Structures are given as C-alpha cells and as structure tokens.
Chain A
Amino acid sequence: MQHLQKIHRRFVTLLEVLIAMGLITILLTVLLGIYGQTVRTQQHVEQALQSNFQLLYAQFRLNQVIPTIINPVDDKDHYGYAFYTQDSDSLVFTYDNGTGSGTFFSNEVIGRLFLDENKRLMFLTWPVPKRYPDVEPPVRTEVLLENVDELSFNFYRPVPIENKRLAISSERATGEYGDDFDTWNADEEDIPAIIRIYVTIKGRQVEYAFLLSNASTPVSYL
C-alpha cells in the first residue's frame, strides 16, 4: 500500500500544472515585455546609428576631397581645371586625389557632387581629360548618402586683402566680410574660401563646412 502511495505521489496534479502554467505565463509576460522593449529600442538605435554612420562616412570622404580642391587659376599646363555649379545642386571641381589611385585617378582629377533621381548624394570622379586625350576616361562612382531630400551649397568669398589671407580669431573676423553665393560660375576663375554643403535627410538638415586653402584669398582661423 505504501509502495502504491509512493508511485501515486510521482504524478503531477491538475492543480500543480495550473500553478506552473500560471507562473510561466506571468514570467513570460514580464520577460517578453522587457524583451520586446529592448528589441524596439535596439531598432531605434540601429536606425539612428545607420543614419549617423552614413553622415559620418560622407563627412569622412568629403574631408578627404573638398580641402584638396585645386584653383583653376593654377592650371598652368591647361589641363582644364574646373570649379562651378550646375543647376544649384551639382558641383563640379578639380581636386588632388593623391598618388595612390593608379594611372587615371592619381593627382589632379575632376569630381562631381550631385543628387541623383534616386535621392542619393553621388560623387563621381574622372581623370582630367586633357591628360589622356587618346582614351575614353573611366568614371568612378560613389554613393555618399541615401534618402537625401535636398542638396544645396553656399560659397563664401572674402574681400581680397593685402596679405592675401583673412584671419578669423575666436572673437571676430578681421577685414571686411565678403560675399556669400549659392551658385558659382565657371568664369569666376577662382574658388571660394569656404564651402558649405547642406544636405536635408528626412527633414533634418546637416551642414558640412570646409576651408579651401587654394583660394586666392584663403581664410585661416587663429
């Protein structure tokens, strides 16, 4: 009889199962709630980081390129250096790409920054055509940013001053202010001292600003 009782006690009663299910339900509800919240937060963070990474990458790449823009007045060998805007959302310029990019893309190359029909901030590079008159110039394409609603530029040209350099200290700028432009004509034959690039992504405007040391009147911060 005792033996039978022992065997009988090994079974799980309906009450115990109900209690277990109740406990599991409560724990699962709590845990899944927390887990779901974490996943949602992670998705938000993911989106924010993705967008910031894009912006960071664009800044990194533009930092490599824009400050090396070459002034068309320095085109002593008549290679056809350029600096101008097209349709206010496309900038064409010559820049120094360094010596490590192979025959066609080393040193002076032409770059074009523009917004394509798929709302992507594109950056194209091709060799200075006059250097290789006998070949079809190859073009290198890069996507810097996606989902861009708007791209615009601002160019600052200081008033030329005697020592050819406008000094800006933390307190105030010395010399006259100069002029701001939204577009730049090819016949200017100079480059601005400062370029600001405005990019609007999902209603948020991001500004990139660069000093161009090859401008006829460059700006230096003290």
Chain B
Amino acid sequence: MNVIPIVFSILMLLAIITYAQLQTFVLRNVSRVEYVCHMANRSRDNINLLQDQLYQDHKVPGEKSENGNRVDAVSQVNLRIFESEPTIQNQIFYDAHNEIVKRLIDILYANRPFYQDFEEKRPDVVNELWREVRQELQREKNQRQGIKKAKHLANLRLGDPELQEFLANMLKRVQTPESLIYDCQSKGSESKKAVYYPNLIDYLAVQSSDMKPYRVWLAPRPLLLAIFQDPNVVDAIAVEREQLYGQLKQVPKERRDQVKNEMKFTFQRLFQNKLPSNIPEGIVNFDVSLSRPRN
C-alpha cells in the first residue's frame, strides 16, 4: 500500500491550509471585537467629556462672604490683560503675568512629544508663540471687541503656520495613551475612565481688563508652580489650604468672617515670602473661603 503516504501528505496539506484559514478568520474577528469595544468606549468617553464640559461651562454666582464682599482675585490667567500694550504704571505686573503664562505653557506641555520636537527646532518657540498670540489678541480687540472665551484662542489666525500648528497641538484634548487601552472583558462601571492631558484652556479665562491678583487658595497646581516656581512650596500650599479648609468648615457661621481673616494672615505669612524675586508681591492674593481648593 505505497499510496498511503501520498494520501496522508495530501491530507496534511489540506489540514494546514484549513488551519491557516481558520487562524486568519479568528484573528480578523478578534480584532473586530476589539475595534467595536474601542469605538463603544470612545463614544462613552465623548459623552462623559461633553457632560464634564457642560458642567464646567455652567456658571454659578461667585461666593460672597457673609458681609457681602466678593474676593477680588482670579484662579486663572486673564487673557484680557494681553489685549492691550502695558502702560508705565502696570509694566511690572504685565511682565510678571506674561512670564507666568509662558512658564505655565512649559509646565503643562514639557513632557509632550510635539512640544519637545518644536523646542528642538525652535528653542525660543514659547516666546515666539506668546508674542504672536498677544498681537492677535490686540488685533481682535481692535476689530471685534476681543475674544469672549478662553477657548476662542483656538480661532486666532497667527502669521506663522508653524506657530499655528504648535498652538493647535496645545489646545487639542488628547487622551493619555494609558487610558486609551480599554479592557474589553470588563463591563459597565468596571471600565476605565478616560484621562486627558492638561490643556492650557483650563487655566485661562477672559474676564475684566483689570490685572487682578491670582488667588492662591483656589489656583490649580500648575498655575501655582508657574507663580512660585518651586514644587516644594506648591506642595506645602496644597497641604496648608486643605488643612485650613477642614478647619473653616467647622467654624459656626457667625464667626466665619473673623476666622477667615485670621486664616488669611496665617496663609499669607507662610507663603508670601516664598515668592521668587521676579514676581511682585501684589500679584497674589491669600484670601480664604469656603470654596474647596482643588489639589
């Protein structure tokens, strides 16, 4: 029966072909299932992001103290400042705000590949960008009463296409690579929440043209870092304001204004002298309130 090896050879060949086909079929379907899962997760992330933005955009009246005074300070960089050239009176403060924004950009994006690529190509890119942005803000102000919201920074038309691209990269909402990997086996609440890189827009606002001081009590960490330029000081501020907030909550309403004042002076005494020499003292405000600091 010499024919048996031939029959077996043909059978083996057919088995190999069938196995290869099956593997391709299985692989294709596995990748489809992953894709469907990914799309479903991205859809959910979009809805979550949208709801989050709606929440952020929903303005509530600012907190007033019991005696009706509102704290005259901001926890974001006010773009309105840059819509006009500095005057002799405000030159020092203008320069300080300007430096804070540039440092903030560096703090937020220094680890992102696009930023590193641009910096390699054009070492002074942040200075160049911010100069162009300021010019455009002034032009907008002259032509159409200025931009209305910080997000409209994305609509500015810069003269330099490279800087335009740099700005667009900065303002994109980008999910971190880790949070983009979904576990398709987990269901519902077990699945991961989308995490986005910090975005400059979240630290900017368009308010009145006054150069209001930054409120250390409510300022987010990157902004504090841009002001104080020392991570240890920023950590200490975060700990201190959390402690003060915990204590303030326990205080009865009738004594609250008095305690707030006492706390303000304690807070100020601790951190006013930690300001770098190039930052004028009046650029920060140490008022304490019942708004919870965001650490």
Contacts and interface: CB of A to CB of B under 8 A. Distances in A.
B110 interface: no
B172 A213 contact: no
B156 A103 contact: yes
A38 interface: yes
A163 interface: no
Interface string A136-167: 00000000000000000000000000000000
Contact of A103 (B1, B40, B157, B201): B157
Nearest to A19: B3
Q: For the side of the interface on A, what is the size category? A: 35 or more
A56 B156 contact: no
B155 A106 contact: yes
B171 A100 contact: yes
Given A31-B18, A56-B36, A99 B7 contact: no
Contact of B155 (A35, A63, A76, A107): A107
A67 B171 contact: no
B43 interface: yes
B3 A17 contact: yes
A99 B151 contact: yes
A49 B29 CA distance: 10
B173 interface: yes
Contacts of A77: 148
A42 B25 contact: yes
B3 A99 contact: no
Contact of A67 (B42, B50, B168, B172): B50
B10 A102 contact: no
A102 B201 CA distance: 14
A73 B154 CA distance: 23
A27 interface: yes
19 contacts: A20-B6, A24-B10, A27-B10, A28-B14, A31-B14, A49-B32, A56-B39, A56-B40, A60-B46, A63-B43, A64-B46, A67-B47, A77-B148, A99-B171, A100-B174, A102-B164, A102-B168, A103-B164, A106-B155
